[in-house]
């Protein structure tokens, strides 16, 4: 099958069809199999340019008109013409007809062949999923296994294992690329600790406002979040621990779509905190990090596997407390 027009691949140009991927090979304009012996005389095609989304050519025959898909083309004095194209399939048929001054006609059938269509289609699906996710309201519940250690000035070190419950809510705002989120967590069931005469529970929540800047392109998404954080310990009998710790938080997250149903993400967290007895500082803070894999089912519910790490350092009136925890668990979106 002869190739009429093609163009060299250009890695730094935009992909046609609004696909944000690097082109691997150029589109080609080919004669249809049933048109190889039925071509229009004096019609010449120029190489296709990705970024222009136009097909160009030259047709020099005085008195003749040229139509593409039944639409008349405007010819310059030098015979140049162009018409727009869209990349909506791997092969797009194009019908060309030339009409002479006496009504005679010549016809030519072409196929616009787009080798990168499969990659473009996948990119479009990823973009749609990403857009849907950024404009959806989510409520999810989760349960995880937590191992925690706590140390405090002049107190015996404490460690425990427990089940931790979590509820998260996220809602897009009316402003483009903005959303809000709230997460609360609590010790659901202590399993074991190294001081059997003490019971310890943790509770906390955070709220945040997030913005998705257009710094990177699909399948990657960057979110920058700011908000507030609160946590407290409930210890019985009250031998150690902290209560009513709060502060602002900065929460960047980076995610990547693997395919149309799976996404991986990672986040970092920094929160300078106080219990009201000291001013906020960088040394009295909680830092955290986490990984997440999520799968979207056909009913649009999402199941996630999460791994979170957090470390809190608090200086309260000269008493230093420090806790470290790792939680591995899962979450299920209710909507």
Q: Express as a percent the part of the chain with pLDDT over 70.
A: 87
Classify 251 as helix, strand or coil.
strand
Stretch 220-246: mean pLDDT: 95
Residue 301 forms beta bridges with which residues?
A: none
The label of the residue with tokens 């996220």 reads 170
Taking only the tens place, the pLDDT of each residue in 244-269 is 999 999 999 999 988 878 899 999 99
pLDDT of residue 133: 53
Taking only the tens place, the pLDDT of each residue in 68-124 is 999 999 999 999 999 988 777 788 899 999 999 999 999 999 888 887 777 777 766
The DSSP result for 111-160, as a single string, is EEE-TTHHHHHHHHHHHHHHHHHHT--EEEEEEEEEEEEEEETTS--EEE
How far out from the chain centre does Cα 245 lie?
A: 33
Q: Are 50 and 152 in contact (CB under 8 A)?
A: no
Cα torsion 155, 160, 165, 168: sign: positive
For 269, the token pair is 């967290």
Does domain 136-333 correspond to CATH entry 3.40.50.150? no
Residue 76: DSSP 8-state:
P
The label of the residue with tokens 């062949």 reads 113
Please state the φ and ψ torsions of residue 99, each to the nearest 5 degrees.
-120, 125
Angle, vertex CA 318, rays to CA 314 and CA 323, nearest 5: 25
Residue 16: DSSP 8-state:
G
Stretch 233-251: mean pLDDT: 95
Classify 18 as helix, strand or coil.
helix
pLDDT of residue 135: 59
Q: Which residues contact 94 (CB under 8 A, 6 or more apart)?
A: 29, 55, 68, 69, 109, 110, 111, 112
The answer to whether residue 13 scores a pLDDT higher than 50 is: no
Q: How confident is the model at residue 288 (pLDDT cuts 50, 70, 90)?
A: very high
Q: How many C-beta neighbours within 10 Å does residue 281 have?
A: 12
Stretch 140-153: mean pLDDT: 97
Cα–Cα dist 18/14, whole Å: 7
pLDDT of residue 53: 77
Domain boundaries, the chain: 3-115, 136-333
- Whether the pTM exceeds 0.75: the reply is no
Q: Which residues contact 131 (CB under 8 A, 6 or more apart)?
A: none
Phi-psi region of 126 (alpha: psi -120 to 50; beta: other; left: phi over 0): alpha
pLDDT of residue 9: 35
Q: Which of 205, 129, 159, 168 is nearest to 306 (CA)?
A: 168
CA-based diameter of the chain, in Å? 106
Instruction: Give the chain's mean pLDDT.
Output: 86
Stretch 125-146: mean pLDDT: 75
Taking only the tens place, the pLDDT of each residue in 271-282 is 999 998 878 888
Q: Express as a percent the part of the chain with pLDDT over 90.
A: 60
Please state the φ and ψ torsions of residue 204, each to the nearest 5 degrees.
-170, 165
Q: How confident is the model at residue 232 (pLDDT cuts 50, 70, 90)?
A: very high
Query: Which H or E element spans position 36?
Result: none
The answer to whether residue 5 scores a pLDDT higher than 90 is: no
How far out from the chain centre does Cα 222 lie?
A: 7
What topology is assigned to 3-115 in CATH?
Immunoglobulin-like (2.60.40)
Cα–Cα dist 186/200, whole Å: 11
């Amino acid at each position: 099958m002869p190739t009429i027009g093609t163009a060299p691949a250009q890695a730094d140009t935009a992909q046609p069809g609004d696909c944000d991927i690097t082109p691997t090979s150029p589109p080609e304009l080919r004669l249809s199999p049933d048109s190889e012996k039925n071509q229009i005389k004096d019609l010449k095609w120029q190489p296709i340019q990705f970024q222009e989304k136009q097909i160009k050519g030259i047709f020099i025959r005085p008195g003749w008109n040229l139509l593409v898909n039944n639409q008349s083309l405007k010819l310059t004095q030098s015979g140049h013409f162009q018409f727009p194209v869209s990349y909506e399939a791997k092969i797009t048929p194009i019908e060309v007809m030339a009409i002479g001054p006496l009504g005679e006609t010549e016809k030519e059938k072409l196929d616009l062949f787009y080798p990168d269509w499969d990659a473009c289609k996948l990119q479009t699906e990823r973009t749609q999923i990403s857009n849907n996710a950024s404009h959806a309201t989510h409520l999810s519940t989760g349960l995880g296994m937590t191992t925690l250690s706590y140390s405090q000035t002049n107190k015996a070190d404490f460690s425990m294992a427990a089940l931790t419950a979590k509820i998260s809510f996220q809602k897009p705002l009316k402003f483009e690329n903005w959303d809000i989120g709230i997460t609360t967590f609590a010790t659901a069931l202590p399993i074991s600790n190294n001081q059997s005469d003490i019971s310890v529970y943790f509770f906390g929540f955070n709220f945040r406002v997030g913005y998705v800047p257009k710094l990177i392109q699909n399948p990657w998404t960057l979110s920058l979040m700011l908000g507030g954080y609160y946590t407290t310990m409930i210890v019985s009998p009250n031998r150690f621990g902290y209560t009513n710790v709060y502060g602002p938080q900065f929460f960047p997250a980076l995610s990547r779509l693997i395919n149309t149903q799976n996404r991986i993400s990672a986040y970092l967290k920094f929160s300078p905190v106080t219990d009201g007895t000291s001013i906020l500082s960088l040394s009295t803070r909680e830092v955290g990090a986490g990984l997440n894999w999520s799968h979207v089912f056909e009913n649009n519910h999402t199941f996630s596997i999460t791994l979170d790490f957090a470390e809190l350092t608090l200086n309260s009136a000269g008493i230093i407390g420090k806790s470290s925890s790792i939680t591995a668990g899962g979450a299920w979106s209710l909507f």
